[in-house]
Amino acid sequence: MKKVSFIGLGVMGFPMAGHLQNSGYQVTVYNRTQQKAQAWVEQYGGEMATTPAKAVKDSDVVFVCVGNDNDLKQVILGTNGAFSGMKANAVLVDHTTASASVARELAQQAKSIGLAFLDAPVSGGEAGAVNGQLSIMVGGEQAAYEAIEPIVQAYAKISKLLGPIGSGQLAKMMNQICIAGVVQGLAEALHFGQNAGLDCEQVVEVISQGAAGSWQMDNRHQSMIKGEYDFGFAVNWMRKDLDIALTEARNNGSTLPLTALVDQFYAGVQKNGGGRWDTSSLLTRL
């Protein structure tokens, strides 16, 4: 069985690494807060290391899931970073939602030292990670993807190679653009229904079965009606993702008026103290 490593044990990485361990892989983990790595080992077994370089020693595949471009560079290129400890021909799979430009930069660095790199952001949120039902969007070379595809099935509902390096990150931007519009539409519909005196639970039961139905409607309407947002994908992270998408749009000539508007609505949620609330908290503005 292949030896793998997982760097970054946040709300997504912690259960994803657990699925790998439970699937029979030999997993070594690294997290900047070592107590989190220790908690992972106590829950799942496996091993922990004190630096990324030590964590990746002798691993065939290295998975990374951290916060942003800067975090990514730190754990991969920094002192005792992953690239400094990986063995020849190993593959690094980046599950971070980051920019396409940093993916291309890291892929070039990897190639120069005899490694492979795939950008592979995920969608499905914390629940998808816990339940092993993530959608994985991948950019990179076919051979590297074929090497890791059976492994990511440990936590994937679907995984697909979408093109060259950067394609995974660009696809994730499309994903977040779609979510922004859908959540805002759902928030406005619930706001309208409440003001109209309707039983929104009953209305959603009906309209969710038609063309208006969505994952957000199925999984978030009840908590939105109750005003419960202390869970799920945080507004702070969504704004980070939308900033990446809007920056890329300026570079490639795309016009994203709705995305830019919803991004500002999220800024309003942040100002009201909701930076850690779930993205469905757009309703609180209304």
Q: Residue 240 catalytic?
A: no
Question: In the 8-state DSSP scheme, what is residue 63?
Answer: E
* DSSP H/E element including 138: strand 134-138
**Residue whose C-alpha is closest to residue 248's, from 173, 193, 198:** 173
Comparing CA positions, the residue from 39, 166, 26, 29 lying closest to residue 106 is 166
Q: Which of 36, 157, 172, 271 is catalytic?
A: 172
113: exposed, middle or buried (C-beta count within 10 Å: 0-12, 13-18, 19+)? exposed
Determine the Cα–Cα distance for residues 158 and 263; give it in Å rounded to an integer: 28
Nearest C-alpha neighbor of 117 from the set 96, 98, 103: 103
Please report, as a single letter, which amino acid is at residue 183: V
Catalytic residue list: 172
